[in-house]
């Protein structure tokens, strides 16, 4: 995705999400925007945007590190979703209860 932004240093990812949501008629939470690099001299940035049909598909197919970075919903729900099942996870769930 190429973004032209004269008179500005960068464009916020939230603003890009809102513009994409309007254009493709989806919710902003179903859009992942990442990897933007500003061209030397400014005025243009290049990056990636992924648009999912639903939030379940996003959680299913999106890599865990990007889900962590976006931080959807409750902190503990994200941590428990991302941790492997093991003794540490069981201790956290027992402490949470």
- Closest-CA residue to 17 (of 43, 3, 41): 3
pTM passes above 0.85: no
Domains in the chain with CATH codes: 2-96 (3.30.70.3370)
Which helix H or strand E contains 18, and what residues bound it? Answer: helix 13-24
Per-residue pLDDT of 31-46, as tens digits, reads 999 999 999 988 999 9
Per-residue pLDDT of 6-19, as tens digits, reads 988 888 999 999 99
- Closest-CA residue to 64 (of 84, 49, 44, 50): 84
């Amino acid at each position: 995705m190429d973004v032209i932004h004269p008179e500005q240093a960068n464009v916020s990812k939230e603003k890009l999400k809102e513009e994409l949501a309007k254009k493709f008629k989806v919710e902003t939470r179903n859009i992942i925007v990442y990897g933007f690099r500003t061209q030397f001299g400014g005025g243009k940035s290049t990056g990636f945007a992924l648009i999912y049909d639903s939030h379940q598909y996003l959680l299913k197919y999106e890599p865990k590190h990007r889900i962590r970075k976006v931080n959807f919903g409750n902190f503990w729900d994200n941590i428990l979703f991302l941790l492997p099942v093991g003794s540490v996870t069981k201790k956290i769930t027992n402490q949470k209860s």
